[in-house]
Amino acid sequence: MKKRPAVILVLLGMVFSMAACSSTGTSQTTQSAASTQASAAQASAAGNEIKFAVAVPLTGDQSEQGLQYQKACQLAVEEINAAGGINGKKLVEESFDDQGSPNQAVVVAAKIAADPSIEFVIGHLNSGCTMAAMPTYINAGLAIVSPTNSMDELSTQPWKNYFRASLSDGISAKRLVDAIYAAGATKLGIFYGNITNDLSAKEVFANYIQKELGKKVYAEATYNPSTDRDFSSQVEAFKAAGCDGIVFTGEYTPAALFATQAHSKGYTPIMGGLSANNPAILPLGGKNVEGLLTVCGFDVTNTDPKVQKFVKDYKAAYGSNPNDTGSRSYDCIYMIADAYKNGATKDTLADYISNKTNYQGATMNFKFDGQIDNKEADVYILKIQDGAFVKVARYTYSGQ
């Protein structure tokens, strides 16, 4: 899928220029809006608040994941503000719906960049959305922290204002493949969406299976995450190829649907889903997702008191357990709050995170050492057993 953020911004600029020239009244309205934005920025700088944006899908199939972002950030905001804020300032969260679409992410980024009172961005959920939106954020000088981006290509970008809390697919996807083989599968197939994130993950899967392990990929099948809900043809293709294991790149909804449709045809391969760790998969897939393996940056059963306090507080606030989308978002807010408490500002936040952050959160730790990737990130292999996620293994940034 091709991204055209520069073209979109140029077109937006043309529209704004035409509107500004159309009448005196429009010009006055534009000046008034600019004055309002400037006043908001001055109020923030004066010591009243630190405002940030959360850019995630809040509608569509990925909205459950986006809501984990939004809710976990809000929980952290409420706790921090209740404890006195950050050096006397209150945190303020504003959410933007990128719909899980790179094109919409560019529109959202433009809105965020146009508001000078916004000091940093948490997001995007999807790596493809981040890739599309980054030129806008770079021009605006905003620091961006993503709790979830995993596409390998992000690690080598020249950006100085972007950081990710999660491990790359190059680590987590490989460990998922290992777990599927360890569970007894011998003939793996790859099921992937035809979007940027999934295409990148599919290549990681294929290269690891074929080049590093010296094994064969017995079948591949793709789907459109935006429209496809009937996976009958893909199920038949994997079944005909003799695949007894499936590695799946997509989100929890298509994973649950695929498992349900496969089981209805008497086909029960060992499944591993790269992004299937949302608790919503449990009621959606029911008995059909029993045994499914997935990767997660967070183990809800971890007995560490800090972890269990977060789980308890999140469930009390929202009625369900968090997944790693929520846990990472929560700790990212605390990590950034720590940076501000130690002197970071809107203009220096990116440099502080890059070179000074060494923060221990409730569910994860952070250290970037001048790079995009979090050197303290880890990943868990989880398995659905008796209607709940249970830990199979844990790996660190080094892959060990």
The three-state secondary structure class of 99 is coil
Of 86, 70, 53, give the one whose Cα is nearest residue 317: 70
* Cβ contact 64:104 at 8 Å: no
Q: What is the pLDDT of residue 331?
A: 99
Place of tokens 């923060």: 359
C-alpha to C-alpha distance for 92 and 88, rounded to whole angstroms: 13
CA dihedral 61, 63, 64, 69 (to 10 degrees): 150
Q: Which fold has domain 170-296+382-398?
A: Rossmann fold (3.40.50)
Assess whether the previous peptide bond of 124 is cis (omega < 30° from 0).
yes
Length of the chain: 400
| Contact in structure between 224 and 194 (CB atoms under 8 Å) | yes
Secondary structure of residue 297 in the 3-state scheme:
coil
Tokens representing 200? Answer: 């990148």
Please classify residue 56 by burial: count the beta carbons closer than 10 Å to its beta carbon, then call 0-12 exposed, 13-18 middle and 19+ buried: buried
Residue 200's CB: how many other CB atoms inside 10 A?
24
Q: By three-state DSSP, how is residue 125 classified? A: coil
Q: CB of 161 within 8 A of CB of 134?
A: no
* Sign of torsion over alpha carbons 110, 111, 114, 115: negative
Residues 63, 69: Cα–Cα separation, whole Å:
10
User: According to the model, what pLDDT value does residue 397 have?
Assistant: 78
Contacts of 30 (CB under 8 A, 6+ apart): 19, 20
Low-confidence residues in the chain, pLDDT < 70: 1-47, 398-400
List the 143-146 sheet strands across, edge first: 90-97, 49-56, 118-123, 143-146, 162-164
Q: Which residues of 230-256 are buried (b: 16+ CB within 10 A; e: fewer)?
A: ebeebbebbbeeebbbbbbbbbbbbbb
- Asked whether the beta carbons of 225 and 255 are under 8 A apart, the reply is no
Beta-carbon-side half-sphere exposure of residue 359 (alpha carbons within 13 Å): 27
Q: Which two tokens stand for residue 37?
A: 């934005």
| Six token digits for residue 273 | 């889903």
At residue 5, the pLDDT reads: 40
Contacts of 96 (CB under 8 A, 6+ apart): 53, 54, 55, 56, 108, 111, 112, 123
Question: Phi and psi for 61 in degrees, rounded to 5?
Answer: -65, -25
Written as six digits, the tokens of 339 are: 């940076």
According to CATH, the superfamily of the domain at 49-167+300-368 is Response regulator (3.40.50.2300)
Q: Which of 127, 216, 225 is nearest to 169 (CA)?
A: 127
**Do the first three CATH levels of 49-167+300-368 and 170-296+382-398 match, i.e. the same topology?**
yes
- Model confidence over 36-82: pLDDT tens digits? 344 444 445 456 999 999 999 999 888 999 999 999 999 999 999 99
Contact 124, 329 (CB under 8 A): no
Is residue 291 within 8 A of residue 383, CB to CB? The reply is yes
As a whole number of angstroms, the distance between CA 204 and CA 206 comes to: 6
Domain ranges of the chain: 49-167+300-368, 170-296+382-398
Residue 318: enclosing H or E segment and its boundaries? helix 305-318
CA proximity to 49, closest of 19, 85, 103: 85
| Structure tokens given for 170 | 């190059």
DSSP conformational letter for 363: S
Instruction: Specify the pLDDT at position 61.
Output: 84
